[in-house]
Structure 1
Amino acid sequence: MKQKLLSLALGTAIFATSYAQEIKFQEYDLANGMHVILHLDNTAPVVTTSVMYHVGSKDENPERTGFAHFFEHLLFEGTENIGRGEWFKIVSSNGGSNNANTTADRTYYYEVFPSNKVELGLWMESERLMHPIINEIGVETQNEVVKEEKRQRVDNAPYGGLSYGTAIQPHLFTKHPYRWSVIGSMDHLDAATLEEFQEFNKKFYVPNNAVLVVAGDINIEQTQKMIKDYFGPIPEGAAIVRNHPKEDPITQEITATEYDSNIQIPALALSYRTPSMKDKDAYVLNMISTYLSDGKTSKLYKKMVDENKTALQVFAFNRSQEDYSMYNIFALPLGDVPLSKLETEIDEEIKKLQTSLISDNDYTKLQNKMENDFVNSNASISGVANSLARYYMLYGDTNLINSEIEIYRNISKEDIKRVANKYLNKNQRVRIEYLPKSTQEEK
């Protein structure tokens, strides 16, 4: 017993120490407007070089959706100094790895190299920005790659329309460009001209629309010099003006039916339009998601899967975004349980949040879970680099990498009740029955 207590005490001490270690960084702007963030960590001989561009699917022409995600692929095609198809070979032959991803709000590229290859990472990212080759062969090649990705992840994947938002976003948004999914329309990509792709690159892939993060085992002064040499000569682009339309509030439940040929079991989706990720209420909604469906002891899982055995699966999550967020609750019935039964049980748990304060024990568990997630998100150099870029670009406060946990700590039980009442009401949501395609054919 003493040994167990000692282990627990040591584990707690290690956790506290890991949180107490403030993540230090330096940030500054180049003359061309590129923001630079440097983080020194000598614990391992690795370095992450990353660039986040403030361009996502919400920045697209409504008649040319999918461009931002397409560029995530296209800009690996090659540059004036990196031959077509050579990008990944250069990275792997130098002991590195790389990847990229796109959301509605931003596009992120990164390389992880041994620390003695930091200059290589900087050169490659500067090449992507300064000397990309955007030609017909690259566009045609990546068009097929993106189509295959859509087939695998959306068209032929069970519940792909829910996972990628194609079944939800057009109902939740009617004005804002969040109404289309990140993967966009293949017809739009097919119809686009080479000049349209080149203009998209010219507008958004400019240094004053980007943040460069170099994190890991680096020499700060040498890294600063290399950044100036490689990125300093890149000309500043025209200022980007965003004026996306505002959505009218949802005041009456919106109902819809969507069909999926890849499923046998129907699903219920309840989706609420919620505030920007920068709003304190978005943090409260993150906590409510954890409370309702994170783990087997969460309220919805315990009630619907374990006790009542009405659901095969249920989960809630707040998809945080820059302008509006989306709070989604998905549930799959067990056997012949009607979707209306799942809806009733979900609404019962939401009503409890709206009418009563959660218990002290649940509140403590929530706080511990949020703190643990916060620490784990920055447990690797790559995680730190991503967080630094994201907090700067989307929140306007790089130091949230250290201080965000205080926002969660200051969320009270009363805040949870207030936010549940403010956003999670039946007359403010979209209700979607997501059914097997065979059901539609029978009708």
Structure 2
Amino acid sequence: MKKTFLSTLLVCAGFFGSQAQQVDFEEYDLPNGLHVILHEDKTAPVVITSVMYHVGAKNENPERTGFAHFFEHLLFEGTKNIERGKWFEIVSSQGGSNNANTTDDRTYYYEVFPSNNVELGLWMESERMYHPIINQIGVDTQNEVVKEEKRLRVDNQPYGNLLKAVKEKLFTNHPYRWATIGSMEHLDAATLQEFQDFNKKYYVPNNAALVVAGDIDKPKVKKMIEDYFGGIPKGAEVVQVDAKEQPITKQIDAKYYDPNIQLPMIVHAYRTPSMLEHDAYVLDMISTILSDGKSSRLYKKLVDDKKMALQVAAINLSQEDYGSYVTLAIPLNNTPLEDITREIDEEIVKLQTELISEREFEKLQNIYKNQFVTRNATVAGIANSLANYYTFYGDTDLINKELDIYKNITREEIREVAKKYLNPNQRLRLEYLPEKNQ
């Protein structure tokens, strides 16, 4: 009943939040370096407490991959004051929900509670930061959990190793070259001390942003934050990765064999700029033009008109240090992969040589306006956005300015950015194939 009630409140918060244009917030730093962001929204009695740590798979030792994702699980094990295995029980018994997720660049933990439990959420996140218990029992338990997740989501999932196959060819020096879930062999070989050292290095207040959003009383919440987080010692300075890749000047041809698929896939991947650069926004728009919906260029051409592909997509994977622009397609009726490559390239050449129509441009602007509203339609969505904008851009107010960036992109910029990055000599061409002799 409590979960149903909370879900209803979140829906209500989403409905009212979707009407808002400006996201108001307050931010400040504690002396220990913890960055605090507060967003007050009284439309529903719901509160989100969340912490984003600026640590992801790219921060790992190349011989110990998978640590960041492992900690996504490990830091739910228990703390000095939260008995092992009781974390989720405490949250659910108070009508709340929680989760976490990890990328190559950051790890994000959050709780959603009825607003009268904001203090509980803050206490639990402070416990995770200050008093985690990292022992062999917890490591062994979560090792099995992560292995099972890898079996289900990667090893036994059709096309489950697609991202791995792309990354290990597209990047040769930067740690984006390994999968976020990492290597089970590396996790098996790690010592308890290595896990404890990783925690001490990265899960510290000066490498984190705390966001409290929803139905809050800010003076009271500030006092709670000081009480629970103020005494946590500052960690050593965290120096982020600075690894560079040489430009790709000749098409990389590769094959990857997957025992879990029946149909091949053709993949084209281009290494593109960091999400911090303006061109990354333009590449977002290019991916929308090519494959967002059934009226998009690639879908209409390859799936509807020519019946050459079962599925097709163009995706701009923006990350902190580099991006990856990926087009992919699953052929239909035994269409040769080379033919699909040719058809996709033809559409990209059109973007490189012709301005998109005014009508298509207007549609594009409407799509991004709707996406912006949707992303910030719930308090939970706003909390996540605030944490992201601070952690990566150092500009929390980008939540109110990013839509203007998209609005100001021109048709000429779309043409020039496509011409700059999406060329055959700058890419990986990967044939993702059924395993031989299966």
TM-score range, shorter chain: over 0.9
Determine the C-alpha separation between the residues in 1 that align with 2:354 and 2:107.
41
Contact 2:52 2:109 in 1 (8 A): yes
Match of 1:7 in 2: none
- Note the residue ranges of structure 1 that are not aligned, 5 or more in a row: 1-14
Match of 2:428 in 1: 430
Q: TM-score if structure 2 supplies the norm length?
A: 0.95
After superposition, what is the alpha-carbon deviation per residue over 1:128-151, rounded to whole angstroms, capped at 9, x for unaligned?
000000000100000000001111
Match of 1:53 in 2: 53
Match of 1:155 in 2: 155
Match of 1:168 in 2: 166
1:93 matches 2:93? yes
Match of 1:76 in 2: 76
Determine the C-alpha separation between the residues in 1 that align with 2:64 and 2:112.
32
After superposition, what is the alpha-carbon deviation per residue over 1:328-351, rounded to whole angstroms, capped at 9, x for unaligned?
111000021011111011000000
Determine the C-alpha separation between the residues in 2 that align with 1:436 and 1:74.
35
Determine the C-alpha separation between the residues in 2 that align with 1:431 and 1:67.
30
After superposition, what is the alpha-carbon deviation per residue over 1:147-191, rounded to whole angstroms, capped at 9, x for unaligned?
0111111100000111xx111101000000000010000000000
Amino acid at match of 1:261: P
1:42 matches 2:58? no
Contact 2:18 2:376 in 1 (8 A): no
- How far residue 19 of structure 1 moved from its aligned partner, in angstroms, is 6.2
1:279 matches 2:277? yes
Say which SS state the counterpart of residue 124 (structure 1) adopts.
helix
Say which SS state the counterpart of residue 161 (structure 2) adopts.
helix
1:441 matches 2:437? yes
Mapping 1:43-442, distance limit 5 Å: 43-162=43-162, 165-437=163-435, 440-441=436-437
Determine the C-alpha separation between the residues in 2 that align with 1:118 and 1:132.
20
Match of 2:6 in 1: none
Determine the C-alpha separation between the residues in 2 that align with 1:416 and 1:290.
11
Match of 2:7 in 1: none
Determine the C-alpha separation between the residues in 1 that align with 2:351 and 2:296.
13
Contact 1:105 1:322 in 2 (8 A): yes
Say which SS state the counterpart of residue 167 (structure 1) adopts.
helix
Say which SS state the counterpart of residue 165 (structure 2) adopts.
coil
- How far residue 196 of structure 1 moved from its aligned partner, in angstroms, is 0.1
Q: CA RMSD in A?
A: 1.1
Contact 1:310 1:337 in 2 (8 A): yes
After superposition, what is the alpha-carbon deviation per residue over 1:250-290, rounded to whole angstroms, capped at 9, x for unaligned?
00000100000000000001000010111110000000011
Contact 2:58 2:241 in 1 (8 A): no
Say which SS state the counterpart of residue 292 (structure 1) adopts.
helix
- How far residue 244 of structure 1 moved from its aligned partner, in angstroms, is 2.3
Amino acid at match of 1:308: K
Say which SS state the counterpart of residue 28 (structure 2) adopts.
strand
Contact 2:26 2:38 in 1 (8 A): yes
Contact 1:177 1:244 in 2 (8 A): no
Runs (4+) of structure 1 exceeding 6 A deviation are: none
After superposition, what is the alpha-carbon deviation per residue over 1:383-432, rounded to whole angstroms, capped at 9, x for unaligned?
00000000000111100111100000010000000000000000000000
Contact 1:206 1:236 in 2 (8 A): yes
Contact 2:55 2:68 in 1 (8 A): yes
Determine the C-alpha separation between the residues in 1 that align with 2:265 and 2:158.
11
Q: TM-score if structure 1 supplies the norm length?
A: 0.94
After superposition, what is the alpha-carbon deviation per residue over 1:231-265, rounded to whole angstroms, capped at 9, x for unaligned?
00000000011242210000000010000000000
Determine the C-alpha separation between the residues in 1 that align with 2:73 and 2:334.
43
Say which SS state the counterpart of residue 133 (structure 1) adopts.
coil
Contact 1:41 1:218 in 2 (8 A): yes
- Note the residue ranges of structure 2 that are not aligned, 5 or more in a row: 1-14
Determine the C-alpha separation between the residues in 2 that align with 1:50 and 1:138.
23
Contact 2:59 2:241 in 1 (8 A): no
Q: Percent identity?
A: 68
Determine the C-alpha separation between the residues in 1 that align with 2:339 and 2:152.
32
Say which SS state the counterpart of residue 385 (structure 1) adopts.
helix
Determine the C-alpha separation between the residues in 2 that align with 1:242 and 1:91.
33
Contact 1:316 1:330 in 2 (8 A): yes
Determine the C-alpha separation between the residues in 2 that align with 1:46 and 1:341.
52
After superposition, what is the alpha-carbon deviation per residue over 1:328-376, rounded to whole angstroms, capped at 9, x for unaligned?
1110000210111110110000000001000111000000001110111
